[in-house]
Structure 1
Amino acid sequence: MKHAREHHEDRRALVVGGAMLLLLGLVSLFGIMIGAINLSVGEVLSAFGGGKNAFIVMEYRLPRVAISILAGAAFGLAGVFLQGALRNPLASPDVVGITKWAGLGAFSAGLMTPPAWSAWAIPLGVMAGALFGALALLAIGRRFGGSTTALALTGVALGMFAQALIQYVMVLFPSRADQSMVWLAGSVYGSTGADVAALSLWLLFCLPVVVIAARRLDAGGFGDDTLTSIGLAPSWLRGGLIVVSVLLTGGAVAAVGSMGFLGLLAPHAARLMVGPRSRHLVPVSAVLGALALSIADLAGRVVALPNEIPAGIVAAVIGGPYLVFLLFKEKSRND
């Protein structure tokens, strides 16, 4: 009976994952076709072979589509591991303020270092900010009992504080405000092949720890006493999952800015589709994160032509109401 149920779950996850990958491929194709100059499928294929639209496709649209897929997958995975670490269905890098602290770290690093150093200073600032935000969340959240509501509210407060600091610094340095606002809102506009290569290398570097974390993710749902009884140190397990989440969040924020709600939406949608087992949840969350950011970017391009709306704003418009829904759902469950 158990074997039959597992086989059914595996088959369902395979079908869902395949369908989402197909949809991601279609959205990516539309992302390459749609722009200031709309291209047909034939013109896109011709561009891949060096046709007259090769520069537009290869230098502008393809990097934009690729960075959406990579960063979206990173945000989706970060949300999965953070939820597993905190045992909190509302936890995600943006909801608990980690992305805002990463943005503050990047913004501060860009201001305090010469432009020639930005290639390495900004990623380091992102990582430092994200790690500080995660440590502050754990330290303050535990003071209030570590409950779901306490962690969520603590994270929201920390995110608002980071946002206030960003705005204060922008007032002090108004010449950087316009450029920073788009990045802090979250956008894939202007992504280059170098950006794609950098994020790809970072995710490849993170892959071994992601695989290890995925194998331990199911254990994160147990209480601390249960983990201790089976020989796992709760602090090391949860700390390791948080570190992996911070690494993934930092890489994605460095590439596309402070995207909101992707790390919340993707794991929840994946859990509804394929269940809570990590071997299904982790890959499907990555695909759904990539799909969500790709759709957000595509929607931002077409809803206000000839202008563009940053993908982060589109994601927030969708994710904000969804977070409110989850808060009400969690409250009704606890009552």
Structure 2
Amino acid sequence: MVTLRLARPAPVAHRRGWTLIGLMAAVAVAVVLSLSIGAQTLSPAEIWHALTAPDPSAPATAIIRELRLPRTILGVLAGLALGGAGALMQGHTRNPLADPGLLGISAGASFCVVIAIQYGVGSLTGYIWFAFAGALLASLAVFGVAAGARGGPTPVTLALAGVAMSALLSSFTQSLLLTDDASLNVFRFWVVGSISGRGSDVSAQVAPFIAIGLVLALVNAPALNALGLGEDVARALGQRILPARIVGVAAIVLLAGAATAACGPIIFLGLIVPHLARRLTGPDHRWLIPCSALAGAVLLLIADTLGRVVLRPAELQTGIVLAAVGAPFFIALVRRRAGAVTL
């Protein structure tokens, strides 16, 4: 009698752990590339000396410490924030096409930035707080409208309220810009979405909000797993729906609001990254959220680095590079899921 022995698959947690470690290594590689590549390519030795033993007279020191290092740090922070917020947004709305902008975050930030510019706030460090306040207020309005609907803040009511609020605020923003050319000239440099030209003070301003948002996202992950089974099943399992929604929306607002305020609206990153991470980790949000955050940092830094070399010595803004990559991905995703949509 012949006995067949089947190889045991590797434990899922073990595989996910290696995925997390691999993404951390990918972030480190992306950081090195971001520091090395630009209008002037620097060697690893030059980068190391500029970081550890800076020589004020050396051009590499100025390039690294004043330009590329603040840009890279902000890229990591914004990528972590947008990747994590995208995973949360798709989980809470149960919509694979959702991104953080669906809660009105980008529209609210844009509207308040225009108001700040019209009142004479011309520096990024000045209107970053207006952008964050706009993102916060718009998201609270969306959640309030969704909570007031019959059945409370369900995925459908959140999505519908977010679309309506975004359309309303976008129309207000456009009407203000049409009446003030000066505001339009300042606003267009922020709205394109970029991490260039931001000093280390910008990262210092948004880092605490992103850190708190990531903690809330990880705390919200077990509840999001239960909500993914349906609200009735989640209640049967003892999950409190409203507090879970509030924690999730608060994390999304902090993460996406801070990143949008610092960098401008960077579209498609929060849409693409969770789908890529889900292929590696599966649907468990305890692993999906941190992996999405790390993958977001990798993708944002790579897009920014590509933008520096495509039109060298000129640069292509990060938001434009991600839009060029994200639009085909979005179309493919819609086409793949079109057959599953029923009315």
TM over 0.5: yes
Q: Is the 8 A contact 2:223 2:239 kept in 1?
A: no
In the alignment, residue 50 of structure 1 is paired with which amino acid? P
| TM-score normalized by the length of structure 1 | 0.86
Are 1:136 and 2:139 an aligned pair?
Answer: no
Partner residue of 1:24 out of 14, 24, 27: 27
Q: CA RMSD in A?
A: 3.0
In the alignment, residue 8 of structure 1 is paired with which amino acid? P
Q: Is the 8 A contact 2:104 2:163 kept in 1?
A: yes
1:250 to partner: Cα distance = 0.8
Structure 1 124/274 Cα, relative in aligned 2: closer, same or farther at 3 Å?
Answer: same
Alpha-carbon distance in 1 for matches of 2:23, 2:239: 35
In the alignment, residue 28 of structure 1 is paired with which amino acid? V
Alpha-carbon distance in 1 for matches of 2:231, 2:178: 45
| Partner secondary structure for residue 94 of structure 1 | helix
| Partner secondary structure for residue 323 of structure 2 | helix
Give the unaligned 5+ runs of structure 2: 1-7
Q: Is the 8 A contact 1:90 1:148 kept in 2?
A: no
Are 1:247 and 2:254 an aligned pair?
Answer: yes
Alpha-carbon distance in 1 for matches of 2:327, 2:170: 16
| TM-score normalized by the length of structure 2 | 0.85
Structure 1 58/97 Cα, relative in aligned 2: closer, same or farther at 3 Å?
Answer: same
Partner residue of 1:219 out of 208, 226, 229: 226
Alpha-carbon distance in 2 for matches of 1:19, 1:251: 26
1:207 to partner: Cα distance = 4.4
1:58 to partner: Cα distance = 0.9
Q: Pick the structure with greater CA Rg.
A: 2
1:315 to partner: Cα distance = 1.0
Structure 1 98/327 Cα, relative in aligned 2: closer, same or farther at 3 Å?
Answer: farther
Alpha-carbon distance in 2 for matches of 1:299, 1:158: 34
Identity of aligned residues (%): 30
Aligned length: 330
Q: How does 1:26-65 map to 2 (within 5 A)?
A: 26-48=29-51, 49-51=53-55, 52=58, 53-65=60-72
Give the unaligned 5+ runs of structure 1: none
Partner residue of 1:187 out of 182, 185, 194: 194
Partner residue of 1:331 out of 315, 319, 338: 338
Alpha-carbon distance in 1 for matches of 2:190, 2:296: 19
Q: Is the 8 A contact 1:106 1:129 kept in 2?
A: no
What is the aligned partner in structure 1 of residue 269 from structure 2?
262
What is the aligned partner in structure 2 of residue 284 from structure 1?
291
Instruction: Say which is worse superposed, 56-65 or 317-326, in terms of deviation.
Output: 317-326
What is the aligned partner in structure 1 of residue 14 from structure 2?
11
1:107 to partner: Cα distance = 2.7
Are 1:170 and 2:169 an aligned pair?
Answer: no
Alpha-carbon distance in 1 for matches of 2:97, 2:184: 31
Instruction: Say which is worse superposed, 241-250 or 156-165, in terms of deviation.
Output: 156-165
